[in-house]
């Protein structure tokens, strides 16, 4: 039996307070496949101390603090799911052997840059300068050559239909290498779509993080799916689209709407999202916007109850007194974000037949 049937690409504080924590808690009751081998794919030597600390026998801490149902919550969790760590830059032969013989589930969260195609991606053999999809392709090829047992790939990067997108890229890279290998990827490698959501506000050194109470790992069901953890924040769903709509059109839309007003007031009076939520007029306006302009769109799609519950949770998240979520960060690429979040909602809910003057103004459509 494998010590680490789960291989995780990425060392971020997000993964530490998300997937790693969920698996750690599930392992306490035997509700996870096993422990994790964390792999650093960037080769950044400056993170070596973090890599070593992740696999410390005593684990690492995650501090959870914020609001849950309007009530302040604080908790400390010791995460002990990481059994070993490797780096693609220095340990690729060992990683390849692990991939061939032990791996059952692969998790990734390598950031936007990790998926960016690189000139080296077309090389016939592994190179450290390759993108993550190319590195994954070569590891899968090693598994194929070693006998080709099925395996499950679970990207958590914030890409719509992330499993489908990663599969398409791996097949694009695999086909020129070996047609039989590419056919095996198509047939026996299960790429899973998922959506993750948790604000992890700061790192702890050398490993650990501070996170909000809210957490979600929504995984789209598919034939043969293996759950990485039976845990309350891990939800197996038949279709990700309703959850994607909630996140985009309530959480993200709310962020951009708040920032739009803040920018029109010349950035006066606030630095963080929680500062705006302490202003009774701003909070009342946002709540009324959700009630009058957003929820009717979800109601027309038959999703009102779920959206109303998510809205209440979102207001708690925005009000988190411990979360330093900078308005200036959200304001980056504001016009593009407004179109993608608010404009897209207006298009999606166009048939609902209700008035949306504030949203139309924020999206530049009034």
CATH, residue 129: 3.40.50.720
Identify the bridge partners of residue 237 per DSSP, sorted by sequence position: 220
The last residue of a domain, from among 185, 218, 238 = 238
Q: What was the pLDDT predicted at 293?
A: 96
156 and 110 Cβ atoms separated by less than 8 Å: no
Whether the CB-CB separation of 108 and 91 falls below 8 Å is answered with: no
**Do 176 and 267 sit in the same domain of this protein?**
no
7-54 pLDDT tens trace: 999 999 999 999 999 999 999 999 999 999 999 988 777 677 889 999
Whole-angstrom CA distances from 49 to 288, 325, 332 are 48, 27, 32
- Alpha-carbon distance of 84 to 55, in angstroms, equals 5
Q: Which of 36, 31, 18 is nearest to 227 (CA)?
A: 31
107/4 Cα distance (integer angstroms) = 12
Q: Is 1 part of a structural domain of the chain?
A: no
For residue 125, report the phi and psi dihedrals to the nearest 5 degrees: -125, 160
Q: Do the domain assignments include residue 34?
A: yes
Q: Are residues 177 and 33 in the same domain?
A: yes
Domain assignment present for residue 302? The answer is yes
Model confidence over 136-148: pLDDT tens digits?
Answer: 999 999 999 999 9
Which among 10, 7, 6, 28 is positioned nearest to 200, based on CA atoms? 10
**Cis bond before residue 153 (omega within 30° of 0):** no
Residues 209, 115, single domain; the answer is yes
What pLDDT shows up at residue 354? Answer: 82
Q: Which pLDDT does position 1 carry in this prediction?
A: 54
Regarding whether 189 and 112 lie in a shared domain, the answer is: yes
Domain ranges, residue 52: 6-238
First-residue to last-residue Cα distance in the chain = 62
Please check the confidence at residue 256 and state whether its pLDDT lies above 60. Answer: yes
Q: Are residues 175 and 315 in the same domain?
A: no
Euclidean distance between CA atoms 176 and 183, whole angstroms = 12
Angle ∠(36,37,42) on CA atoms, nearest 5: 130
68 vs 299: which has the higher pLDDT: 299
pLDDT beyond 80 at 2:
no
Structural domain contains residue 167: yes
CA 316, CA 328: separation in Å to the nearest integer? 20
Q: What is the mean pLDDT of the chain?
A: 94
Mean pLDDT, residues 114-138: 95
pLDDT at 193 over 90: yes
Distance of CA 88 to the CA centre of its chain: 22
The fraction of the chain above a pLDDT of 70, given in percent, is: 99
Same domain assignment for residues 125 and 139: yes
Rounded Cα distance, 109 and 343, in Å: 28
Task: Based on the fold, state whether residues 29 and 139 are members of the same structural domain.
Answer: yes
Which residues, in sequence order, are bridge partners of residue 105? 6, 152
**DSSP H/E element including 87:** strand 82-87
| Whether residue 254 sits in one domain with residue 231 | no
Indicate whether 355 pLDDT > 90: no
Q: How many CB atoms lie within 10 A of CB 113?
A: 10
Q: Other C-beta atoms within 10 Å of 186: how many?
A: 13
Q: How many other C-beta atoms are found inside a 10 Å radius of the C-beta of residue 354?
A: 13
Domain-located, residue 13: yes
pLDDT number for residue 324: 86
CATH number, domain of 295, equals 1.10.1040.10
pLDDT tens digits for 68-111? Answer: 888 899 999 999 999 999 999 999 999 999 999 999 999 999 97
Residue at a domain's end among 221, 238, 255: 238
pLDDT in tens, 165-182: 999 999 999 999 999 999
- The answer to whether residues 215 and 147 belong to one domain is yes
Report CA Rg, the chain.
Answer: 22
- How many structural domains compose the chain? 2
Residues 117 and 183 in one domain: yes
Nearest to 21 by CA among 225, 233, 199, 163: 233
- C-alpha neighbours within 13 Å on the C-beta side of residue 189: 29
Helical pair 162-177 and 179-188, crossing angle rounded to 10 deg: 160
- Looking at the structure, tell me whether residues 90 and 158 fall in a common domain: yes
Q: Where are the alpha helices (DSSP H) in the chain?
A: 13-17, 19-27, 48-54, 92-101, 111-114, 132-145, 162-177, 179-188, 241-246, 253-264, 273-277, 280-289, 295-300, 304-318, 327-330, 334-338, 344-348, 357-362
Q: Is residue 341 domain-resident?
A: yes
Give the mean pLDDT of 187-201. Answer: 95
Strand pairing partners for 152? 105, 190
Q: Which of 188, 220, 238 is the last residue of a domain?
A: 238
Pairing of strands 189-191, 209-211: unpaired
CA angle 145, 150, 155 (to 5 degrees): 105
3-state secondary structure of 191: strand
pLDDT for the residue 352: 74
pLDDT in the model for residue 323: 86
Same domain, yes or no, for 176 and 45?
A: yes
Query: In the β-sheet with 151-155, what is the strand arrangement from edge to edge?
Result: 82-87, 36-40, 6-9, 105-108, 151-155, 189-191
Q: Is the pTM of this model over 0.85?
A: yes
Considering only the C-alpha atoms of the chain, give the largest distance between any 2 of them, rounded to a whole number of Å.
Answer: 64
Tell me, what's the pLDDT at 269?
86
User: Does some domain include residue 41?
Assistant: yes
| pLDDT at residue 351 tops 80 | no
């Amino acid at each position: 039996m494998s010590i680490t049937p789960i291989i995780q690409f990425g060392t971020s504080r997000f993964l530490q307070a998300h997937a790693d924590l969920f698996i750690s808690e599930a392992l306490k009751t035997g509700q996870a496949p096993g422990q994790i081998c964390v792999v650093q794919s960037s080769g950044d030597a400056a993170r070596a101390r973090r890599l070593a600390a992740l696999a410390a026998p005593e684990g690492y801490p995650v501090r959870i603090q914020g609001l849950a149902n309007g009530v302040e919550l604080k908790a400390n969790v010791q995460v002990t799911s990481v059994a070993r760590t490797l780096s693609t830059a220095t340990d690729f032969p060992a990683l390849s052997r692990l991939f061939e013989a032990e791996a059952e589930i692969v998790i990734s969260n390598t950031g936007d840059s990790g998926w960016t195609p690189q000139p080296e991606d077309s090389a016939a053999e592994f190179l450290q300068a390759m993108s993550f999809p190319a590195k994954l392709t070569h590891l899968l090829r090693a598994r194929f050559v070693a006998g080709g047992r099925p395996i499950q790939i679970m990207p958590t990067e914030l890409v719509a239909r992330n499993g489908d997108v990663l599969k398409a890229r791996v097949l694009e890279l695999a086909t020129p290498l070996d047609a039989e290998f590419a056919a095996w990827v198509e047939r026996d490698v299960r790429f899973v779509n998922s959506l993750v959501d948790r604000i992890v506000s700061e790192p702890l050194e050398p490993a650990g993080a501070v996170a909000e109470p809210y957490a979600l790992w929504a995984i789209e069901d598919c034939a043969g799916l293996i759950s990485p953890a039976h845990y309350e924040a891990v939800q197996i769903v038949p279709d990700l689209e309703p959850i994607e709509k909630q996140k985009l059109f309530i959480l993200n839309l709310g962020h951009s709407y708040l920032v739009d007003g803040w920018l029109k007031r010349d950035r006066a009076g606030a630095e963080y999202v929680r500062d705006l939520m302490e202003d009774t007029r701003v909070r009342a306006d946002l709540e009324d916007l959700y009630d009058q302009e957003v929820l009717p769109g979800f109601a027309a799609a038959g999703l009102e109850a779920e959206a109303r519950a998510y809205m209440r949770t979102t207001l708690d998240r925005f009000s988190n007194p411990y979360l330093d979520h900078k308005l200036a960060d959200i304001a980056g690429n504001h016009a593009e974000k407004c179109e993608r979040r608010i404009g897209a909602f207006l298009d999606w809910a166009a048939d609902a037949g209700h008035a949306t003057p504030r949203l139309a103004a924020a999206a530049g459509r009034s």
